[in-house]
């Protein structure tokens, strides 16, 4: 079954499930659900009504229902928790892995979180408080303390016994960590190395050093980078003494990478944080995520108007100049948006580093000058026809200057923000465009005033 | 060692390595390299000169040098291949995994690819031709035919023997595939299930159905979605008969996910494909990736100028209208860029589906009207002061209309492109901004003409 067929099958599945729920055919529904992967059950939930969702969820076996719950979006989880009894919620929380429990508790409103913390077992409560004690978007918020650790003096046979016990408890077992008696991380061993080794070998002889270990306080981006760079199945997290605290697995990291890319993508379009996605977001949340930048840019654009007002005499003398204004001004903004797009992404993926700035600036100057000349030539004919040769020269020359200035500004701004420890993605296309607009108007009208020999402002 | 410390250590490492290369201290260099993970060796290469790089690469043991090579960018690979002898290249190619070989061959210029194909063993050549026969950016280009398959009637003990042999050959062993005598995929088993099972159990009893299988001809995005949705370590690829052809692993998919996010990110800023990244890209490549959209937008913006020319009488009568033009026009573009940013990303991550359009449109109308009113109020005072009450009304009213129209256009365009099987990311911020500009000028000047009771155009 290809991915496209999977999608079509899902729609059919949904209709069937809804029908079974509507007809209250519980045995039929249970049989149907048992054949579906938990991720698919979770993916179907948003398309069911709240009344259909709860009985369906209750029909799932306990461990499976916890897995389905882990794959739901925060809004869905919130709704479902509100519809479950305290006893059901307690059981659900007991079956959630610790990292999913942290994810749930940090997303919910404070009063719900308090209620849920009250339902946890003392051990789970201690663990949850510890994990929630790490900063938001930190490695600690992603990690699970469920991992399999063995000691270096153990034989492979004894280690395999520990691995079996761990795998039965549902702990991820593709990477086994080796720790000393004090719990300090010594290294990591792939599960397959245990299978290849003779049962009497000491674990010590299999250990390869772990290429990287993280602190729980680092930004979660560090976990993404480490797993991606070293192609790991999981990355270990240690405290300042080197004691193993937990691990972050590749599947969590893929979700984080997607969330971070979405966040940067939105920032480039001056849209703020939208947890849970645009489809589920309320109009009020969407409004809040967009309004501040738009109003800020209104005032930036008023400056452009002031620039025009300053050159009122020039414009009144040669009204034809107004026709070309949107063109010149937008071109600088567009070239600037391109340059900032390239830099914001290159900084985010770690491709562009501060020491590359000089080299990149030199290259950008050459590239943007060539772009400006191309665009100037493209409108040269049109400019000459509409308002005479002098206007043509003014327009073409302005084009080159505006494109170079806009591009260099768009390139430097993300680096500057990065240097100031601000988010480079705040150098959004609309911000760069707005500032390039102001510069563009001033450059254009100054050049036109000079070339057309008009009285200065 | 935290990620930040790792970075600092890398810089020190680089200086040390460069010194060892300069001093031709080959034994010292070899010892130093042996302690570094292959990914770090690869990451250091771009910072070395070409003269330093080749001897360093030659010092690496064969299998390790092939691994380092796999992690290099296409430009680096190209340069290195040019500096190696035919014999060295032949050995290098022999040690590369098939999927990395495909990746290399598809990136290189045609004549280099031909030369390399001539150096392959007959079996490797057949395999390379087969993999390169799949469309660019397809699942087939990502997959490796190196996987471990066992038969359902085998005992666990016999299967473990096959797994050990495979793992020794370096084939990925975290997921084992079960195929029938004709090679048709029956299902997948996690390696840890083999460890838990008794040696005499038949493999048949361990098989869980694989939740998804892909065709080699599908877009590589399908592999990203499948691995991400089902949290898999690898996804199997089958032909139309269901015969297992190969697998795509999670580490390849993470790189693809990053590359696709970068591609969409760049497209939103009207930047074309840039293989190998902005730091390595030549000025000529950067120019080509940016010029076509910029020139196209020049002509779109000329239309805005024509809109202004059409209302020349209005502008000459009330020159104050010009001051507010950049503001109104940019605001519609900014709101439209926000809306298209949200939609392009939501379509790319599979969050927004065609059937959601009506619901999203209704929400966007409400949100954009609220945004327009907020922005209208924000400039109301300024408008009234600068040009009288009537201009204030014209400006504020235009603001609301322009923001709503720009937002709805920015929202619908990505859906429209998606429906037409074009890339939604082509609804870039600059394109939406340019079109919103044209609409904005026409709406603003029409409203102003009506309210100020000026002669029509």
Of B155, B174, B159, B175, nearest to A192 by C-alpha is B174
What's the pLDDT at A180?
92
Q: Do B174 and A191 touch (CB under 8 A)?
A: yes
What's the pLDDT at B308?
82
Q: What is the mean pLDDT of residues A440-450?
A: 90
**Beta strands A234-238 and A244-249: pairing type?**
antiparallel
Q: Do B195 and A297 touch (CB under 8 A)?
A: no
**Which three-class secondary structure state does DSSP give residue B206?**
coil
What's the pLDDT at B3?
52
**Domain for residue A273, yes or no?**
no
What's the pLDDT at B4?
56
Q: Do A298 and B351 touch (CB under 8 A)?
A: no
Query: Could you please report the per-residue DSSP string of B36-79?
Result: S-HHHHHHHGGGS-HHHHHHHHHHS-HHHHHHHHHTS-HHHHHH
Of A67, A425, A409, A121, nearest to A261 by C-alpha is A425
- Chain A: give the shortest CA distance to residue B374, in Å: 8
**Domain for residue A418, yes or no?**
yes
Q: Kindly state the percentage of chain A with pLDDT values over 90.
A: 25
Q: What is the CATH number of the domain that holds A24?
A: 1.25.60.10
**Which three-class secondary structure state does DSSP give residue A238?**
strand
**Domain for residue B414, yes or no?**
yes
Structural domain ending residue among the three candidates A103, A133, A163: A133
Residue with tokens 């270096």: A152
Below-70 pLDDT ranges, chain B? 1-11, 209-210, 276, 381-387, 455-457
Confidence of residue A413 (pLDDT cuts 50, 70, 90): very high
Q: Do B437 and A39 touch (CB under 8 A)?
A: no
**Domain for residue B71, yes or no?**
yes
Q: What is the CATH number of the domain that holds A256?
A: 3.10.580.10
Whether residue B170 is found in the same domain as residue B124: no
Integer-rounded Cα Rg, in Å, for chain A is 30
pLDDT per position as a tens digit, B382-441: 655 566 778 888 888 999 999 999 999 999 999 999 888 888 888 788 888 888 988 998
Cβ of A378 under 8 Å from any chain B Cβ? yes
Residue A339, pLDDT above cutoff 80: yes
Residue A236, pLDDT above cutoff 90: yes
Q: What is the mean pLDDT of residues A268-277?
A: 77
Cβ of B8 under 8 Å from any chain A Cβ? no
What's the pLDDT at A8?
64
**Domain for residue A277, yes or no?**
no
Cβ of B360 under 8 Å from any chain A Cβ? yes
Whether residue A337 is found in the same domain as residue A257: no
Whether residue A386 is found in the same domain as residue A356: yes
What's the pLDDT at A385?
55
Q: Do A330 and B251 touch (CB under 8 A)?
A: no
Confidence of residue A259 (pLDDT cuts 50, 70, 90): confident
> What are the distances in angstroms from CA A452 to CA A128, A329, A410, B376, B405?
72, 19, 30, 37, 38
Whether residue A183 is found in the same domain as residue A79: no
Show residues of chain A in contact with B163, CB under 8 Å.
Answer: 192, 195
Q: What is the mean pLDDT of residues A166-180?
A: 83
* Distance separating alpha carbons of residues A332 and B128, to the nearest angstrom: 46
Q: What is the CATH number of the domain that holds B434?
A: 1.10.357.20
Query: Could you please report the per-residue DSSP string of B230-298?
Result: HT-SEEEEE-TT-BEEEEEEHHHHHHHHHHHHHHHHHHHTT----TT-TTT--HHHHHHHHHHHHHHHH
Polymer length of chain B: 457
**Domain for residue A276, yes or no?**
no
- Residue of B318 and A120 predicted with greater confidence: A120
Average pLDDT over chain A, rounded to an integer: 86
**Count of A-B CB contacts under 8 Å:** 367
- Residue of A15 and B366 predicted with greater confidence: B366
Whether residue A158 is found in the same domain as residue A259: yes
What's the pLDDT at B35?
81
Structural domain ending residue among the three candidates A104, A133, A162: A133
**Domain for residue A335, yes or no?**
yes
Of B189, B237, B298, nearest to A396 by C-alpha is B298
Task: Please identify among residues 67-126 of chain A the ones whose CB lies closer than 8 Å to any CB of chain B.
Answer: none
Whether residue B357 is found in the same domain as residue B419: yes
Whether residue A99 is found in the same domain as residue A29: yes
Enclosing domain of residue B303 = 283-451
The beta-carbon neighbor of A230 closest among B39, B225, B382 is B39
Whether residue A229 is found in the same domain as residue A334: no
Two tokens, residue A379: 């409108």
Show residues of chain B in contact with A312, CB under 8 Å.
Answer: 319
Cβ of B433 under 8 Å from any chain A Cβ? yes
Cβ of A286 under 8 Å from any chain B Cβ? yes
Whether residue B74 is found in the same domain as residue B101: yes
pLDDT per position as a tens digit, A368-384: 999 999 988 888 766 55
> In chain A, which residue's Cα lies nearest the Cα of B342?
A266
What's the pLDDT at A316?
79
Whether residue B333 is found in the same domain as residue B422: yes
**Domain for residue B378, yes or no?**
yes
Residue A366, pLDDT above cutoff 90: yes
Residue A205, pLDDT above cutoff 60: yes
Question: Which backbone phi and psi does B85 adopt, to 5 degrees?
Answer: -75, 165
Whether residue B289 is found in the same domain as residue B433: yes
Number of domains in chain A: 3
pLDDT per position as a tens digit, A280-308: 788 888 888 888 888 888 888 888 888 88
* Distance separating alpha carbons of residues A133 and A23, to the nearest angstrom: 46
What's the pLDDT at A383?
59
Task: Please identify among residues 308-327 of chain B the ones whose CB lies closer than 8 Å to any CB of chain A.
Answer: 308-309, 312, 315-316, 319, 322-327
Structural domain ending residue among the three candidates A133, A160, A178: A133
Cα-based torsion angle of the residue sequence A220, A221, A227, A228 in order, rounded to the nearest 10 degrees: 160
Q: Do B39 and A231 touch (CB under 8 A)?
A: yes
Task: Please identify among residues 159-188 of chain A the ones whose CB lies closer than 8 Å to any CB of chain B.
Answer: 160, 163-164, 167-168, 173-174
Show residues of chain B in contact with A40, CB under 8 Å.
Answer: 211
Whether residue A386 is found in the same domain as residue A259: no
Integer-rounded Cα Rg, in Å, for chain B is 30
Q: Measured at the alpha carbon of residue A421, what is the angle toward residues A419 and A424, in degrees to the nearest 5?
A: 75
What's the pLDDT at B6?
59
């Amino acid at each position: 079954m290809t991915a496209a067929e999977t999608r079509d099958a899902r729609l059919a599945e949904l209709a069937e499930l809804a029908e079974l729920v509507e007809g209250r055919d519980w045995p039929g529904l249970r049989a149907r659900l048992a054949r579906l992967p938990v991720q698919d059950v979770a993916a179907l939930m948003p398309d069911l009504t709240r009344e259909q969702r709860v009985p369906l969820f209750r029909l799932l076996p306990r461990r499976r229902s916890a897995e389905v719950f882990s794959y739901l979006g925060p809004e869905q989880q919130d709704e479902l928790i509100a519809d479950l009894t305290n006893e059901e919620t307690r059981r659900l929380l007991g079956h959630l892995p610790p990292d999913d429990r942290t994810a749930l508790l940090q997303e919910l409103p404070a009063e719900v979180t308090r209620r849920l913390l009250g339902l946890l077992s003392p051990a789970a409560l201690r663990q949850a408080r510890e994990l929630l004690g790490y900063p938001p978007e930190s490695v600690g918020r992603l990690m699970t303390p469920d991992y399999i650790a063995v000691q270096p003096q153990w034989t492979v046979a004894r280690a395999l016994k520990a691995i079996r016990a761990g795998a039965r408890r549902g702990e991820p077992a593709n990477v086994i960590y080796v720790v000393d008696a004090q719990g300090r991380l010594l290294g990591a061993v792939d599960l397959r190395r245990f299978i290849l080794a003779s049962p009497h070998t000491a674990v010590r002889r299999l250990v390869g050093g772990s290429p990287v270990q993280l602190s729980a306080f680092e930004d979660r981006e560090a976990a993404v980078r480490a797993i991606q760079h070293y192609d790991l199945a999981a990355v270990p997290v240690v405290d300042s003494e080197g004691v193993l605290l937990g691990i972050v697995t590749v599947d969590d990291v893929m979700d984080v990478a997607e969330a971070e890319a979405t966040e940067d993508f939105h920032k480039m379009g001056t849209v703020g944080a939208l947890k849970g996605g645009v489809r589920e977001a309320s109009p009020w949340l969407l409004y809040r995520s967009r309004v501040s930048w738009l109003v800020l840019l209104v005032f930036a654009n008023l400056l452009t108007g002031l620039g025009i007002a300053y050159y009122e005499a020039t414009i009144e003398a040669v009204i034809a100049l107004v026709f070309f204004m949107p063109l010149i001004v937008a071109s600088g903004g567009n070239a600037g948006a391109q340059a900032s797009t390239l830099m914001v992404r290159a900084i985010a993926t770690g491709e562009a580093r501060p020491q590359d700035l000089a080299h990149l600036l030199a290259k950008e100057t050459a590239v943007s000058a060539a772009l400006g000349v191309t665009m100037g030539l493209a409108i040269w004919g049109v400019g000459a026809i509409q308002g005479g040769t002098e206007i043509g020269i003014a327009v073409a020359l302005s084009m080159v200057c505006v494109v170079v200035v806009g591009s260099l500004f768009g390139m430097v701004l993300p680096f500057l923000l990065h240097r100031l420890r601000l988010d480079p993605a705040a150098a959004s296309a609309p911000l760069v465009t707005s500032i390039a607009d102001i510069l563009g108007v001033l450059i254009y009208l100054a050049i036109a005033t000079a070339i057309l020999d008009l009285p200065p402002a």
